[in-house]
Chains A and B, each alone.
Chain A
Amino acid sequence: AQSVTQLGSHVSVSEGALVLLRCNYSSSVPPYLFWYVQYPNQGLQLLLKYTTGATLVKGINGFEAEFKKSETSFHLTKPSAHMSDAAEYFCAVEDSSYKLIFGSGTRLLVRP
């Protein structure tokens, strides 16, 4: 069965600093992986996704993630944090029934 683990329920960075949000997955089949962002009292917005092909995936708002099969990881990064990046981030893996299994989420705090 597929599962997702997000290490760190909260991550705090200074504005301009590197953002690194960790995601590890478990999947019995080649995984389809997703990162979503959620702002307060809103739905989810897709940041980026990995299906096949290039393992470094670029998304919106300057975010990118690298699929590392050997490490079963799909960490999300951004070189320079902006105040507007403060939000909840969810990693997800698609299961064999094409449903999304979400991680527990990581709240990103950006300090001025």
Chain B
Amino acid sequence: GAVVSQHPSWVICKSGTSVKIECRSLDFQATTMFWYRQFPKQSLMLMATSNEGSKATYEQGVEKDKFLINHASLTLSTLTVTSAHPEDSSFYICSARAGGTNEKLFFGSGTQLSVL
């Protein structure tokens, strides 16, 4: 099946620094990528939808200036957590969709972010 690579798998950073997470579709072109946040023992909460070549659409309550999303190509989207704080510590998951339906939606393996 299709593969979505997410990197890094875990990262520890100091408060106030920025962290970039990459999401790559390895064997297909992803017209749309999604970024989710998952707190321990909770469900996935959609943060934003990213379409190649256009600005990301953020869900209500998600700070677009804090969570910068770039989808510069059909195979790469990045999420940058700017000026990270301990409350940003979470598990972040990306997904990539080939085409317009969720029948071809594939998830990355996630990134555990810990902000000290």
- Residues of chain A having any CB pair with chain B under 8 Å: 32, 34, 36, 41-46, 49, 51, 90, 94, 98-100, 102-105, 107
Contact between A43 and B109 (Cβ–Cβ < 8 Å)?
A: yes
Q: B46 at interface (Cβ–Cβ under 8 A)? A: yes
A5–B43 Cα gap in the complex (Å)?
A: 11
With A32-B102, A98-B100, A98-B101 already in contact, the answer to whether A44 and B43 are too (CB < 8 A) is no
Contact with A along B39-77 (1 / 0, CB 8 A): 001111010010000000000000000000000000000
- Verify if B29 is at the interface (C-beta below 8 Å from A): no
Q: Find A43's partner among B42, B43, B100, B108 (CB 8 Å cutoff).
A: B108
State whether A99 and B105 are in contact (beta carbons under 8 Å apart), knowing that A42-B110, A43-B110, A44-B93 are contacts in the complex: no
Least CB separation from A93: chain B residue? B102
Q: How many of B's residues come within 8 Å of A, CB to CB?
A: 24
Chain B residues with CB under 8 A of A102? 43-44
The answer to whether B102 touches A44, judged by C-beta atoms less than 8 angstroms apart, is no
Residue B6 at the A interface, CB < 8 A? yes
Minimum C-beta distance from A59 to chain B (A): 13
Q: A43-B93, A98-B101 are in contact. Are A90 and B44 (CB under 8 A)?
A: yes
Task: Given A32-B102, A42-B110, A103-B43, output 9 extra A-B contacts at Cβ < 8 Å.
Answer: A43-B6, A43-B107, A43-B110, A44-B93, A44-B95, A90-B44, A98-B101, A98-B102, A104-B43
Q: Which one of B41, B42, B46, B112 contacts A99 once the chains associate, using CB atoms below 8 Å? A: B46
Report the minimum CB–CB distance from B48 to chain A (whole Å): 11
Given that A43-B110, A44-B93 are known contacts, is A105 also in contact with B102, CB under 8 Å in the complex? no
Contacts A43-B6, A103-B43 given; does A34 touch B93 at CB 8 Å: no
